């Protein structure tokens, strides 16, 4: 708790400047405008919405589904045995999540014992980053950018939406609802199949672009340099997609170049006056959280 307090005080001095708030409003408006331009795809989503709403995934269910996702993920990749690192990542992640409209979710952050470069989110607020990703972060604002991107997937319910669309596409809404109503034990096999699928194929590209846009804003609101996430994307740009550690990420996301192009259109100088911090060094954080 003391560490969280110290972290919050450090960041509070930098957070929530008037300009960051204005940028948030601007991006919200830009996203609404983009949605209204979706045309037929937007209409389809509008038609699907009442069906999706009737599937009744409220917040407690969202959290329960998310825990099933997390159990599946952890079945494939164990957590790293490093309590100090987990304290740090949770402190940073929860500080970022506090800047969003869903601060009260049971946000939990974990580091997977995996040398690959990846990050995963589940419904309800579980977020995992790999050991290999952490090792390649050049500063704290880059890690803040990655965590904020994952947080954005949670607050916008991208995985819940993908699960619902998958059920609808299979024509199995009734089966889905019936199994859900019987309880988690009945529902788990369905979710397990979906989880394997979604983490190997990825979300809709538009959800990834949205998570980038919102992620930049969350990091800025938390007092970090908003160019942390673009910095990570530049690192990815220089990697070989066939390098084993990066393959999954490249297969499940739009290319780093497309993501940078998309971000530059909305950032377009609007964050130039933002004096966010690149954060403390990982060596300092390591000392701080090992105490
Ligand atoms: Zn993503």
Tell me the CA–centroid distance for residue 159 and ligand 1, in Å: 10
Tell me the CA–centroid distance for residue 216 and ligand 1, in Å: 13
DSSP for 226-276, please give it.
TTHHHHHHHHHHTS-TTSHHHHHHHHHS--HHHHHHHHHHHHTTTTTT---
Tell me the CA–centroid distance for residue 253 and ligand 1, in Å: 7
* pLDDT tens-place string over residues 206-246: 999 999 999 999 999 999 999 999 999 999 999 888 887 88
Please tell me the predicted confidence (pLDDT) of residue 271. 80
Tell me the CA–centroid distance for residue 280 and ligand 1, in Å: 25
Average pLDDT score over the chain: 81
Q: Is the pLDDT of residue 18 over 50?
A: no
Angle at 199 between CA 78 and CA 144, to 5 degrees: 70
Number of folded domains in the chain? 1
Residues with CB under 5 A from ligand 1 (ion): 208, 211
pTM (two decimals): 0.80
Tell me the CA–centroid distance for residue 187 and ligand 1, in Å: 25
Tell me the CA–centroid distance for residue 268 and ligand 1, in Å: 21
* pLDDT tens-place string over residues 57-83: 789 889 988 998 999 899 889 999 999
Structural domain of 109: 2-290
Tell me the CA–centroid distance for residue 150 and ligand 1, in Å: 6
Tell me the CA–centroid distance for residue 205 and ligand 1, in Å: 9
């Amino acid at each position: 708790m003391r560490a969280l307090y110290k972290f919050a005080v450090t960041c509070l001095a930098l957070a929530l400047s008037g300009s960051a708030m204005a940028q948030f409003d601007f991006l919200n408006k830009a996203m609404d405008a983009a949605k209204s331009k979706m045309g037929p795809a937007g209409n389809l989503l509008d038609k699907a919405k009442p069906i999706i709403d009737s599937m009744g995934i409220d917040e407690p269910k969202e959290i329960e589904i998310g825990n099933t996702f997390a159990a599946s993920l952890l079945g494939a990749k164990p957590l790293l045995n490093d309590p100090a690192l987990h304290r740090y990542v949770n402190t940073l992640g929860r500080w970022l999540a506090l800047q969003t409209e869903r601060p009260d979710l049971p946000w939990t952050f974990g580091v997977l014992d995996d040398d690959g470069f990846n990050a995963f989110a589940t419904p309800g607020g579980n977020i995992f980053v790999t050991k290999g990703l952490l090792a390649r972060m050049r500063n704290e604002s880059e890690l803040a950018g990655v965590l904020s991107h994952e947080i954005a997937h949670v607050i916008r319910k991208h995985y819940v939406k993908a699960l619902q669309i998958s059920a609808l596409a299979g024509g199995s809404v009734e089966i889905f609802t019936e199994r859900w109503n019987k309880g988690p034990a009945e529902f788990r096999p369905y979710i397990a199949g979906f989880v394997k699928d979604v983490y190997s194929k990825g979300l809709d590209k538009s959800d990834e672009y949205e998570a980038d846009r919102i992620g930049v804003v969350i990091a800025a609101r938390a007092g970090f340099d908003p160019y942390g996430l673009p910095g990570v994307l530049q690192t990815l740009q220089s990697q070989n997609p066939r390098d084993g550690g990066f393959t999954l990420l490249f297969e499940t996301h739009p290319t780093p170049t497309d993501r940078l192009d998309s971000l530059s259109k909305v950032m377009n100088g609007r964050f130039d006056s933002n004096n966010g911090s690149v954060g403390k060094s990982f060596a300092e954080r390591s000392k701080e959280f090992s105490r």
